[in-house]
Structure 1
C-alpha cells in the first residue's frame, strides 16, 4: 500500500511523513529549531501544493495551491513573528473563502446554517478571552474573524462536509489552543502536540477533500452537492 501511495501520490506521502514526524524535531533539535526545523515544518503542508497541482494547473486547483502555499509560509513565519505568521494564514483563509464562495451549497438545512453562524460568531469571542491581556485579546479576535469566516464558509460549501468542513473546524480548534497557550494553557506540555496535529490533519482533510471533489466534478466546474 505504501508503494502504491508513493507511486500514485508521492507528494501526499511526503506530506504525511513530514506532518506526522514533525514533532520529533522538538526532541532531536535545539529549542529554537533553526532552519532545518522550519523547513521540516513547512514540508508538511508544502508538499500539498504540488499534490494540488499534480493533475491540473487551472481554476480552483490554482487557488487551492495558493491557499496551501500561504499556510506553509505561515508555518515558517510564525516561528519568527506571530504577527507575520498570522498575516500569512489570514491570506490563506481569504483564498479559501473565495474557493468556498464559488462552491456554495444550495438551500442548506437550518442546522447547517446555525452551526456556520455559531462558528462565525463564537470563534472571535472565545479567542478574545483566551490571552491574558486585552490588547492580545483584540489582536487574536481580529485574526479570528477571518479564521471563523473561513470555517463557516467551508461548512456551508458543497464540498464534503465531513472532510472539508470538519477539517476547517479542526483548524479553528488548533488556533484557539494557540491563543490559550498565551493564558490558561501556558504550562501545558500536551497543548503543542494537539495544536500541531489538529492543524496538520485539518489542512490535510481540506486539501484532499477539495482536490478529490474537483477532480470528480471535472476541473473547476461546480458539479453536484456531496455530503
Structure 2
C-alpha cells in the first residue's frame, strides 16, 4: 500500500504529532515501517491500546527505539497510520458495494451488506477492534476518523445521488453523513459487545438508515 497522506489536526490534537517523520524510498526502510505496523497490530490484540508502548513495539518488531523513532514520533502516529489504512480499506469496500446503486435496488439489503462487510473486514484486520476504539476514544486520533468519514460521504454522494434526482445536494449530503456516522458507530458497538445478536442489530440499523434515505425518494 502506498504512503498515507498526513492528517490535518484540529486544535484539540495539536500537541500530538501524528505525521510519519519521513517517507522512505529504499525497500529496507519500507520493510521497517511495515514491520512496525505489523507488530503494533499484533500487540493491540494482545495488550490493547492503553498498554501499548513504543518499547513493546520495538521488542515485538526486533528494532531499537532509535530505529522506530526514525519514522514515527510516538505510538499515536503509528495508530494514525494504521487507522488511515483500515479506513481506506473500509471506504474502498463501500465504494465497491454501492457502485452502480439505483433506486430499484433493495436499499436495506445494500446497507446491511455494507455494514456486515465492514464489520468482518475490521475483525479480520490485526488490531482492528482496538484501532477502531482508538479512533473514537483518543482525542488525538479523532481527526483521522472524521476525515475518513467525510471521504466516505463524498464517495456515497457520487453514487447514491443518482438515485435521488432533483434532491438538493446539501440535504442528501447531510443524510449520508449521518448514515456513515451511525453505521460505523453500530459497527464499533458490535465489536465491543460480541455476544450481542449482530444479525438483528445489523438488520434493524439498515432498516432505520434506509428509511432515512428513502424519505428523499418521495
What is the TM-score of this pair, normalised by structure 1? 0.26
Return the structure number with greater relative CO, CA threshold 8 A, min gap 6.
2
Which structure shows the higher helix fraction? 1
